[in-house]
Homo-oligomer: A and B are copies of this chain.
């Protein structure tokens, strides 16, 4: 396969990112790839926050993966800065290719470069394949992740 590049997302990448978010058992129910307006507004919010890193993986000029890395300072754990990984998606053509590993390894290396002492993420309890994937990469399933939707 041709070389892979992992770089910050630009506005031109929004349709490809949203298509990946929607091409997923859970995402299909909660995304609206036919109307990109809310995603463009969200992209502007991300671009205005220097602690947000929305990334894409690109191979042969095609967006094949994405994730969002957030850097969060805090007092606990002796003033540890932590990072949070959200929105990891791999294009259907690339699943099983090792791209997920490369993306997470990038996020871990970047977290280290930014002085984080901890990387964390949550994964829906139904995504058991993803759980095995994260455990293989050294993540420990030590926590319960709670969500409260606001209406």
Contacts and interface: CB of A to CB of B under 8 A. Distances in A.
A74 interface: yes
Is chain A's interface secondary structure helix, strand, loop, or mixed overall? mixed
Of A43, A75, A145, most B-chain CB atoms within 10 Å: A75
A32 B74 contact: no
A120 B147 contact: yes
Interface string A117-133: 11111111100000100
Contacts of A21: 75-76
A140 interface: yes
A139 B148 CA distance: 5
Contact of A112 (B39, B137, B143, B150): B150
A142 interface: yes
Contacts of A124: 142-143
Contacts of A135: 146
A124 B120 CA distance: 12
Interface of A: 14, 17-18, 21, 27, 30-32, 38-43, 45-46, 49, 51-52, 54, 68, 70, 72-81, 84, 86-87, 108, 111-112, 116-125, 131, 134-135, 137-150
Given A42-B74, A68-B74, A138-B148, 20 more contacts: A30-B76, A40-B79, A43-B75, A52-B73, A68-B75, A76-B87, A111-B150, A116-B150, A117-B150, A120-B148, A121-B145, A122-B144, A123-B143, A123-B146, A124-B142, A125-B144, A135-B146, A139-B148, A140-B146, A145-B145
